[in-house]
Amino acid sequence: MGTMEFQKDPSAVALEMLLIVQPEKRKPVQRLQVDKQTESHASRQSQGFRGDGNGNNNLKQYQGNVLHGHAAQMQQAITSCSAQGTHVTVEVHARNSTPQLFKKLSFGKGFQENGKHKPRPPGLKDQHAYPWDKSRLKSLPFDLKDFEKLDAYATKVTAKSSVEDLVKTLLRVARTDLEKVRAIWTWICHHIEYDVVGFYNKDQQSFKPRDVLQSGKSICEGYAGLFEQMCSIAGVQCMNLSGYSKGHGYRTGQTFTGEYDHAWNAVYLDGRWHLVDSTWGSGSIDECFSKFTFRYNEFYFLTHPALFINNHFPDNSNWQLLKPTVTLKQFESNMLYKSDFYKMGLLTALPETPVIQTVKGKVVVAVESHSSMLFMFELQGTKEYSLMTLKRNGMNLELYPQKTGSHKLQIYAKPSKGSDEVYSCVLEYTLECSSVEKNVSFPKELHQPVGPSWFSERQGFLKPSQKGPVIHTNDGRCDLSFILSKDLSVLASLHSDNIGLSEDTARRHILQVCEGNRVDFKIHLPHAGNFAFKIFAKKKSDPGNYNYVFNYLICCPNTKVKWPVFPQNYSKWVEGYELVEPLAGLLPADRNIKFKLKLHSIAKAFVQCEKTCPLSIGKDGYWEGSCSTSGCTEVYVMVLENANHKFYSHILKYEVEPQ
């Protein structure tokens, strides 16, 4: 592949050159032969790329974070050697052709005319060589642990006065071709900075490997050119490739025309070609395309071709190393999966198209993964109502955009283990919303994800009586129960967008009963509508605050629903107590009210109203009795924990309706 450093004169044309090597002490004679058709083709391509990396001639604001840059339309240099070793032919072919002759003289081991290892362009052998089971990220299997010492060494090597000296130093710890390529890759990814300023001044840049080495920065063509020369010095066959990329500035669903915008490499290892992109392996740039940050990305080293084609489309389809190959139209319409999508073990995403049309104001997205993952999302340009549920191997997301038009949806993920890790963007969609679903409205306090999952199980909540994220009730009442696998204290809260419902009042619409490792909730809604039911927990031995665990969405369409609060309970209402009746915290006036409770470890119990009414324990273990609400505004249930004590403790408080 001819890169920019070989085009000293932008209008120059390199075609076929015959170099006649005479006996010693005679000067070599050079003859240059030019084919008019090839000359015209080369002249067109020698102009380089002056667009924004996506076939546009004017620079625009960038909004991605993957690097690309100035990649030339490239040609293949093909050499042949006579048996006497005195006649060398150099042919330059257009990149979109597959030459029949492909031989290279090398001072390293390898690619000689009569040798056993003959470099070749990718063919059917390569296209069949990379089966993919959705789990392999690499085209050549290896264990990263085997590279730990080599990577550490290569990272610490400082740049030498020449590319040759640098390679010589790196090869001190590299023996196999794979180790050589790894050392070169590691060094470039940790020492060559993406030249953000130079991207806007490409005509003033030099992409010669020695200049890239000295400056320590370049854009994609400089990365690829340096990688190629270092591999050549190391005796490893390497090719410069160019094509379209879905990198920085890529817009979902865009088409690619005109100049190619990116450059990368192919290396020949173990008899097959493999793909690398040291530019994208080195780091990323910010949203404003103003600052580069070294952030090593292992994904782009010997990337599996089935994954590489996701964001790299070579100018020659043979370099896809796939069968069948992907057309440009398919490349444009295919979903863009971020590298973290594969690195985190995510498998598939539905829909598989980057642009999604709403159906009756709704969009559904599903992601499948190898293992449990945490997800979050962001919809730009509009408010939305959403319902995300975690699965043991992925997630489901329902979205209801509240504004028509095009909206960018980004989905983030992080491993379930190591909660300190940040979320990484793994998917991007464009939502085309043609209509808004007006009948959907979720409370602001509803947190994503919704419903019980592997995450709530990990926090100690097992066997939920309600397994789905949404609880539907027509009469405004519902019950929930869990088995706790840990020694937890549990609290719950109820939230709606009704500003007239205070937090304290809403909490009194929940009655919680704990007995052993089981916790039960009774919920009586104050009115119709949608509610977020949140659950919090902490270790009983922990004096700190309660931590949020998960929540449900409770939906009640019945406008006649108007349940009163439960009675207020005090700190002496302990685990194992159960209220059977009355459940309403507001008692009718001038009525005889029956009480039934399950209490333990007490000596006496009674109800305090206008007068004291004792409760008696029955054979079933429940304390029962009754009292009249006549003449009183409040009613208390009290207990005497020890018969020798004289002080009673309040456990429940009721209010009486005014007469």
Tens-place pLDDT, residues 607-635: 999 899 999 999 999 999 999 999 999 99
Active site residue 613: no
Q: Which is more confidently placed, 563 or 133? A: 563
Cβ contact 397:365 at 8 Å: yes
Reply yes or no on whether 262 is catalytic: yes
What is the secondary structure of 461-477 as a DSSP string?
EES-S--SSEEE-SSSE
d(CA 198, CA 330): 32
3-class DSSP state for residue 18?
strand
The pLDDT score that the predictor gives to residue 38 is: 36
Give the whole-angstrom CA distance, residue 608 versus residue 654. Answer: 10
Task: Identify the active-site residue in 93, 177, 195, 220.
Answer: 220
Going from the C-alpha of 466 to that of each of 178, 200, 374, the distances in angstroms are 54, 58, 21
End-to-end CA gap in the chain: 95
CB 456 within 8 A of CB 471: no
Lowest mean pLDDT among 4-8, 196-200, 289-293, 372-376: 4-8
Strand 461-462 versus strand 405-415 pairing type: unpaired
**Over the stretch 392-438, which tens digit does the pLDDT of each residue have?**
999 999 999 999 999 999 999 999 876 567 899 999 999 999 999 98
Across all residues in the chain, what is the average pLDDT?
82
Sign of CA dihedral 345, 348, 354, 357: negative
Average pLDDT (498-509) is 88
Q: Mind listing the pLDDT tens digit for each residue in 440-469?
A: 989 999 999 999 999 999 999 999 999 999
pLDDT for position 155 = 96
Proportion of the chain above pLDDT 90, given as a percent: 63
Q: Whole-angstrom Cα distance, residue 648 to residue 504?
A: 26
Q: Please say whether the dihedral angle defined by the alpha carbons of residues 540, 545, 549 and 550, taken in this order, is positive or negative.
A: positive
Q: What is the pLDDT of residue 346?
A: 92
Residues 351-386: pLDDT tens digits? 999 999 999 999 999 999 989 999 999 998 888 899
d(CA 121, CA 326): 18
pLDDT of amino acid 130 = 61
Q: Which of 277, 312, 433, 478 is catalytic?
A: 277
* pLDDT over 70 (residue 25): no
Residues paired with residue 514 on neighbouring β-strands, in sequence order: 519
Rounded distance between C-alpha atoms, residue 199 and residue 201, angstroms:
6
pLDDT band at 35 (very low <50, low <70, confident <90, very high): very low
Cβ neighbours of 551 (radius 10 Å): 26
Strand 75-81's sheet: what is its strand order? 29-33, 16-20, 87-94, 75-81
pLDDT of 62 reads: 31
Helix 148-156 crosses helix 177-191 at what angle (to 10 degrees)? 50
Query: Which listed residue (68, 70, 262, 524) is catalytic?
Result: 262
Instruction: Look at residue 482 in the predicted model and tell me its pLDDT.
Output: 97
Q: Are strands 405-415 and 373-379 parallel, antiparallel or unpaired?
A: antiparallel
277 is catalytic: yes
Rounded to an integer, what is the distance from CA 67 to the centroid of its chain? Answer: 18
Which position has the higher pLDDT, 442 or 109? 442
Helices (H), 334-407: 339-343
Residue 462 tokens read as 């097992």
Residues forming beta bridges with residue 433, ordered by sequence position: 405
Output the pLDDT for position 21: 34
Residue 90's pLDDT is what?
Answer: 41
Summarize pLDDT for 245-272 with one digit per residue, the tens: 998 888 888 899 999 999 999 999 998 9
Whole-prediction pTM value?
A: 0.73
CA-CA distances (angstroms) from residue 436 to 8, 384, 397, 433, 443? Answer: 58, 10, 17, 7, 17
Alpha-carbon distance values, 525 to 538, 560, 580 (Å): 26, 11, 18
Backbone angles phi and psi of 637, in degrees to 5: -105, 130
Span 309-330, pLDDT tens digits: 999 999 999 999 998 899 999 9
Instruction: Name the burial class of residue 331, with classes exposed (0-12), middle (13-18) and buried (19+) by CB atoms within 10 angstroms of its CB.
Output: buried
d(CA 577, CA 598): 5
